[in-house]
């Protein structure tokens, strides 16, 4: 039986508390997600393969009103340290 990839998480890490740098990191992450989802064979040889692609933005403490959206999650270094 051949296994297939079902989930991909693309991450962007910004070691900062700056909202400007956070915004730039989020914009970059959204670009990566676009290319992974839309560009022909950027991520997969078989473009018909079903795979959920989501993004993870890590910062060093930028406060956000929402931690997660449909396809992007924001975690701080404190959040990460609590996971492990």
DSSP 67: S
Residues in the chain: 84
pTM over 0.85: no
The bridge status of strand 7-14 relative to strand 52-59 is parallel
Beta bridge partners of 10: 55
Q: Where are the domains of the chain?
A: 7-83
Closest CA to 77 of 64, 60, 65: 60
- Between residues 44 and 10, the one the model is more confident about: 10
Q: Which of 34, 30, 84 is nearest to 57 (CA)?
A: 30
| Digit-coded pLDDT (tens) for 20-73 | 999 999 999 999 998 888 775 666 665 456 778 899 999 998 888 888 888 899
Query: Tokens 């404190």 sit at which residue?
Result: 78
- Residue 1's pLDDT band (boundaries 50, 70, 90)? low
């Amino acid at each position: 039986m051949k296994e297939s990839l079902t989930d991909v998480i693309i991450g962007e890490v910004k070691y900062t508390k700056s909202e400007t740098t956070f915004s730039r990191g989020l914009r970059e992450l959204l670009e990566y997600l676009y290319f992974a989802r839309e560009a022909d064979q950027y991520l997969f040889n078989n473009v018909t393969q079903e795979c959920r692609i989501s993004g993870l933005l890590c910062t060093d403490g930028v406060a956000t009103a929402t931690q997660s959206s449909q396809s992007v999650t924001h975690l701080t270094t404190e959040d990460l340290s609590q996971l492990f």
